[in-house]
Structure 1
Amino acid sequence: MSTTTAAPKLKTSAMIASFADPGQKTAPAPFGHALAKAAEQDERIVGLTADLGKYTDMHIFAQAHPDRYFQMGMSEQLLFGAAAGMAEAGLTPFASTYSVFAARRAYDFICLDIAEPNLNVNVVGGLPGLTTGYGPSHQATEDMAIFRGMPNLTIVDPCDSIDIEQAVPQLAASEGPTYLRLLRGKVPTVLDEYDYTFELGKAKVLRGGADVVFVSSGLMTMRALQAAELLAAHKVDVAVVHAPTIKPLDVDTIVAELDTPRLAVTLENHSVVGGLFESVASALVRRGVSRRVVPVGLPDAFLDAGALPTLHDRYGLSKEKIVETVLAELG
């Protein structure tokens, strides 16, 4: 009698892989815990999802407030239409799905049901940019480009667990619609070492530097800080400006930091088309500041599938690749 060894059961770990470095300090499901905590203080807060409660950390809220949690099934248009109705009735909805489904599949519903009447609906998008190895169907590399053109919509790209925990109550309190690029699962805790506080609409200078200035958002602020430490070994002094709010952009802070002789670099987990780089470039032109800015971001292409460390290195998002880029620019 022959026996066979069963193949290991495939899991969804590739879909929800963490971008945290081995041994890095992390916090579990910061969005879910922050939303549950905010709901204890504000009875108007409700949570909705489109069959992705576990994979957007909304399940934490569901466990804490089951009577205020709504599972809408695999129908993103219904998700945001229902959220709009709840907001019209005076509630404060947080509606979660993957960024690709919100930006590509439900754009018209978010635009006309939520943004046009300026309702307080908070769109929560998981797997933003290159945070999954599943390829173009789930990689939201152009979500900010899609949403930046929508009037009334505030866009937030948090760096870490601190950003998310502090952003959630501020998003709930803001009057109009918001889009949060969600980092979920075990999320790195980075900004606690920089005397940082999240303020909606504000960029913050995390560290000063005489040679280079990084303007970054999202997980790329973590990488910017790491790269700055590595560049110090090359005697390159790097400033890091974290811009968690993409729209409205804190033009005053960013232009003041970039209007210097230092090498200027933007870093984003998004296509170089339509995201932070082009927002910053536009702000400089509008203010009459003529200078070159080097973009570190994803290419204008459909990206490969694979392991996240491999993909981040391939597309220039790893700290090592950032260091290479800066040293090449400095000559």
Structure 2
Amino acid sequence: MAEVRNRAGGMGEIAEIEGPYERAPFGNELAELGARDERIVGLSADMSKYSDIIPFRERFPERYFNAGMAEQNAVMMAAGLAKVGKIAFCATYAAFLTRRALDFIAVSCAHSKADVKIVAGSPGLVNPYGATHQSLEDLVVMRSIPDLTVIDPCDAVELRHVIRAAAETPGTFYIRNLRGNVPVVFDEGDLRFEIGRARLLRPGRDVAVIGTGFMSARALKAAATAEQQGIAASVLHVPTIKPLDTEAIAAVAADAGRVIVVENGLRSGGLGTAVVETLADRGISVPVTRIGLGDRFHPCGSQSYNETLFGLDEDAITRAVITGDWPYT
């Protein structure tokens, strides 16, 4: 683990990091798992470098398969390998997987309960290359597919735990990948990742902030700032979008004066919608602000530029926690 300020960004790497980070946690964890289980294989669609699967490829070249720029083929190869007893990790960009290979993920993988783990890079606004490469709708689409586990990790530590859990758990997974230099937010000794379980990161009764992915880390910072102004904000981290921990969501919302949901993706159809559905089903009436992306294609630009433009940066989240104001569409 290192500690510097990283400004590299690009090609799906988180643009700026202050504090500790790990390099390529997905690929390094997969390589360690591969050393212990010969059933594990890796696949990519000409994106080994930009999906961080290189550590596995270099250690086990005979168990790595590059399908070229053909995501449908990569997913079908993974499904076929699963049929003969392999645990297949298929990694490339989220946009290409969820748009080009959706039918193959739904039918050949999820419907067949295949041991295929889709590891999807560049989710949301992380990628600077505009609508063709930004997968803003992936959580919306993936949570609609039956028998599919959907996970959005917060940091490098949780990502490693998620990869481990996916390898040990039968069935098809969709995992949002954090690549490059990935921040460390959680302490290894304190993290207890469980599929389908949310984690209360801090208590508070004035406002409940419910987050997923690296947005939960920003929620923590916003809550700490709000505390200095006398506002007690709880933070519930929801790494597993499906199956959803509705009990934890209902509990934290019922104790709060208002709820804010933060996610790196479309705010309609993703975690925000899932939270609203949960509260409506349980008769919990509380104001909900959904911080996410609007119904539009978003432009090319740096991660920090786009996040500031559309209200996903730490300042906008902090303002929403303190004042309740989030004036973005």
* TM-score, normalising length: structure 2: 0.93
Deviation at 1:40, TM superposition (A): 1.4
Distance in 1 of aligned mates of 2:192 and 2:270: 23
1:148-159 superposed matches below 5 A: 148-159=143-154
Change (3 A) 1:235 1:133: same
Q: Contact (CA 8 Å) 1:51, 1:73: kept in 2 or not? A: yes
- Range moving further from structure 2, 193-202 or 33-42: 193-202
Deviation at 1:329, TM superposition (A): 1.6
In structure 1, the residue matched to 2:126 is 131
Change (3 A) 1:193 1:298: farther
Deviation at 1:295, TM superposition (A): 0.6
Distance in 2 of aligned mates of 1:17 and 1:53: 14
Q: Please give the secondary structure, in 2, of the residue aligned with 1:192.
A: coil
| 4+ runs deviating over 3 angstroms | none
1:168-187 superposed matches below 5 A: 168-187=163-182
Change (3 A) 1:13 1:251: closer
Q: Contact (CA 8 Å) 2:154, 2:239: kept in 1 or not? A: yes
Structure 1 counterpart of 2:110, which letter? A
Query: Which of the numbers 31, 35, 57 marks the counterpart of 2:26?
Result: 31
Deviation at 1:196, TM superposition (A): 2.6
Deviation at 1:330, TM superposition (A): 7.5
In structure 1, the residue matched to 2:252 is 257
Q: Identical aligned pairs, as a percentage?
A: 39
Q: Contact (CA 8 Å) 1:20, 1:26: kept in 2 or not? A: no
Query: Which of the numbers 256, 262, 266 marks the counterpart of 1:267?
Result: 262
Structure 1 stretches lacking a partner, 5+ long:
1-11
In structure 1, the residue matched to 2:94 is 99
Deviation at 1:194, TM superposition (A): 9.1
Does 1:196 find its partner at 2:191?
A: yes
In structure 2, the residue matched to 1:319 is 314
Does 1:167 find its partner at 2:178?
A: no
Distance in 2 of aligned mates of 1:211 and 1:255: 15
Does 1:63 find its partner at 2:63?
A: no
Deviation at 1:193, TM superposition (A): 8.2
Structure 1 counterpart of 2:324, which letter? E
1:204-283 superposed matches below 5 A: 204-283=199-278
Distance in 2 of aligned mates of 1:195 and 1:67: 36
Structure 2 stretches lacking a partner, 5+ long:
1-7
1:15-30 superposed matches below 5 A: 15-21=11-17, 23-30=18-25
In structure 2, the residue matched to 1:8 is none
In structure 2, the residue matched to 1:75 is 70
In structure 2, the residue matched to 1:296 is 291
Distance in 2 of aligned mates of 1:240 and 1:41: 36
Deviation at 1:45, TM superposition (A): 0.6
Deviation at 1:60, TM superposition (A): 1.1
Distance in 1 of aligned mates of 2:201 and 2:224: 13
Size of the aligned set, in residue pairs, is: 319
In structure 2, the residue matched to 1:306 is 301
Q: Contact (CA 8 Å) 2:50, 2:179: kept in 1 or not? A: yes
Q: Contact (CA 8 Å) 2:151, 2:175: kept in 1 or not? A: yes
Q: Contact (CA 8 Å) 2:9, 2:15: kept in 1 or not? A: no
Q: Contact (CA 8 Å) 2:11, 2:50: kept in 1 or not? A: no
- Range moving further from structure 2, 245-254 or 292-301: 292-301
Distance in 2 of aligned mates of 1:194 and 1:267: 26
Deviation at 1:230, TM superposition (A): 1.6
Change (3 A) 1:103 1:194: same
Deviation at 1:107, TM superposition (A): 0.3
Structure 2 counterpart of 1:325, which letter? A
Change (3 A) 1:140 1:330: closer
Deviation at 1:13, TM superposition (A): 5.1
Distance in 1 of aligned mates of 2:189 and 2:65: 37
In structure 2, the residue matched to 1:40 is 35
Q: Please give the secondary structure, in 2, of the residue aligned with 1:305.
A: coil
Structure 2 counterpart of 1:18, which letter? I
In structure 1, the residue matched to 2:10 is 14
Q: Please give the secondary structure, in 2, of the residue aligned with 1:191.
A: coil
Q: Contact (CA 8 Å) 2:95, 2:133: kept in 1 or not? A: yes
Q: Contact (CA 8 Å) 2:233, 2:321: kept in 1 or not? A: no
Structure 2 counterpart of 1:204, which letter? R
RMSD: 1.6
In structure 1, the residue matched to 2:281 is 286
* TM-score, normalising length: structure 1: 0.93
Q: Please give the secondary structure, in 1, of the residue aligned with 2:217.
A: helix
